[in-house]
Amino acid sequence: MTTDSTNTELFERARKAIPGGVNSPVRAFGAVGGVPKFIARGEGAYIVDEEGKRYLDFMGSWGPLILGHCHPEVIEVVQNKAALGTTFGAPCRAEVDLAEMVLSMYPALEQVRFVSSGSEATMSAIRLARGATGRDLIVKFSGCYHGHADHLLVAAGSGLATAGQPSSAGVPKDFAALTLVLPLDDEEKAKALFAAEGKRIAAVIIEPIPANNGLLLQHKEFLLTLRRLTREAGALLIFDEVISGFRVAPGGAAELFGITPDLATFGKIIGGGLPVGAYGGSRQLMAHIAPEGPVYQAGTLSGNPVAMAAGLATLRILQREKAWTKLEEMGALLEKEVKAALAGVTTPWDFTRVGSIFWLSFQKGGAPRSAEKLDQNAGERFKPLFHTLLERGIYIPPSAYEVMFLSLAHTPQDISTFAGELRDAVNATAAA
């Protein structure tokens, strides 16, 4: 691998200094094999690695970069803000500006609290739900990802039991048992669980557009059933909008479905490429948070002025550019071109999309709506395809079960390039 020498060298150094060579597991290319690319810089819809190779990027840093890389206005704001001081540990104007912006875009919220990641947002929302209801049980769905907090690293138990099992070493069994796990797209199981345990449930947390295990699109009726069940039981409904927030509509999936959650969590886009998360709800619920209430939650770098400014600049540009209309148009174009490009191939595939989020499943029987219906062998078909695309300068997430993103920086030409390269790569790898 002489052509890959800088990436290889860096990965060798990284593996000595950092577990697995990465600071977030999926970056290590574990599911696809090979040496990850070390990215030196971004330019709109493109990234460039340490060896100077350019890639057309459909990962967008896993979701935050809805404007593409290095949007000049965002970069300018970040540079100007940083020059004034990067952190104070005291309130700053940018926090108020971003909070007001978020509330104006997401009507279900009357107050919002900023943290530094999506994981922190969901962890804090769960604590708030427990504190506000005085109940301990939470319900999550198999196939949804909510970050790496202990009570959310939980998988379905065996057999009929809904009590969760730790999905990571280091999560106590007793703790995981407080998380009940349901399958997506199954109203009957949700109803049965609420009939049995409803009065002990603090909250149901769901990605209303599950986008961490493929794109497992839910029927609106299913989400409405969860809204009704939680309300009747006095439990809270938490929409984890870390991916969908500000991407599928100004008001996220809540706006798209017309369903109002009690709490919502954000990350990714809200920081405009810098580390920001947030959670919010009604004033009455948020009054439980310290210093007003007894639910403790804090952060040295929370509401960081540079990160707030990057988030605010991003949201302003999205509004000004009527981004959601444009992204839907580009998404529709991509869908049309990909479907046409793959029409003749022999490999099984399906295409799912919500606005600028899309996923190609390489399995028979159409796009699944629950994690249980995911074909675990799709990963094997994906590996050679991934490397072929990478070789040809197309960067997609290194896993068969990750979604792809369009940004405002992608052009119709980029979309045609993608569709063409995809067809060639699928054909090249199907024959092998």
How far CA 392 is from CA of 84, 251, 264, 335, 401, in Å, comes to: 42, 37, 39, 21, 21
Is residue 186 part of the annotated active site? The answer reads: no
Residues near ligand PLP (CB under 6 A) are 117-119, 122, 145-147, 207, 212, 240, 242-243, 267, 277
HSE-up of 94 (CA within 13 Å, CB side)? 26
Contact 23, 31 (CB under 8 A): no
H/E stretch holding 57: strand 54-57
Structure tokens at 111: 């107050």
- The verdict on whether 145 is a catalytic residue reads yes
217 by DSSP, 3-state: which?
A: coil
CB of 413 to ligand PLP, least distance (A): 29
Active site residue 401: no
Q: Return the number of the residue (207 or 262) whose C-beta is nearest ligand PLP.
A: 207
Q: Minimum distance from CB of 58 to ligand PLP (Å)?
A: 16
- Which residue, 56 or 209, has its beta carbon nearer to ligand PLP? 209
* CB of residue 275 to ligand PLP, shortest distance in Å: 7
Buried (b) or exposed (e) across 383-400, using 16+ Cβ within 10 A?
bbbbbbbbebebbbbbbb
Whose Cβ is closer to ligand PLP: residue 190's or residue 206's?
A: 206
From the CB of 277, what's the least distance to ligand PLP, in Å?
6
Strand order in the sheet with 277-281: 111-115, 277-281, 263-266, 236-240, 201-206, 137-142, 179-183
- The answer for residues whose C-beta is within 8 angstroms of residue 25's C-beta and 6 or more apart is none
Residue 247 CB, shortest distance to ligand PLP, in Å, is 11
Which among 53, 81, 268, 373 is annotated as catalytic?
A: 268
Residue 149 backbone zone (phi > 0: left; psi -120 to 50: alpha; other: beta): beta
Catalytic residue among 240, 383, 395, 401: 240
Nearer to ligand PLP, 207 or 337 (CB): 207
Tell me whether residue 36 or residue 271 sits nearer to ligand PLP (CB atom). Answer: 271
Residue number closest to ligand PLP, CB atom: 118
State the catalytic residue, choosing from 46, 145, 279, 395.
Answer: 145
Q: Which residues are catalytic?
A: 145, 240, 268
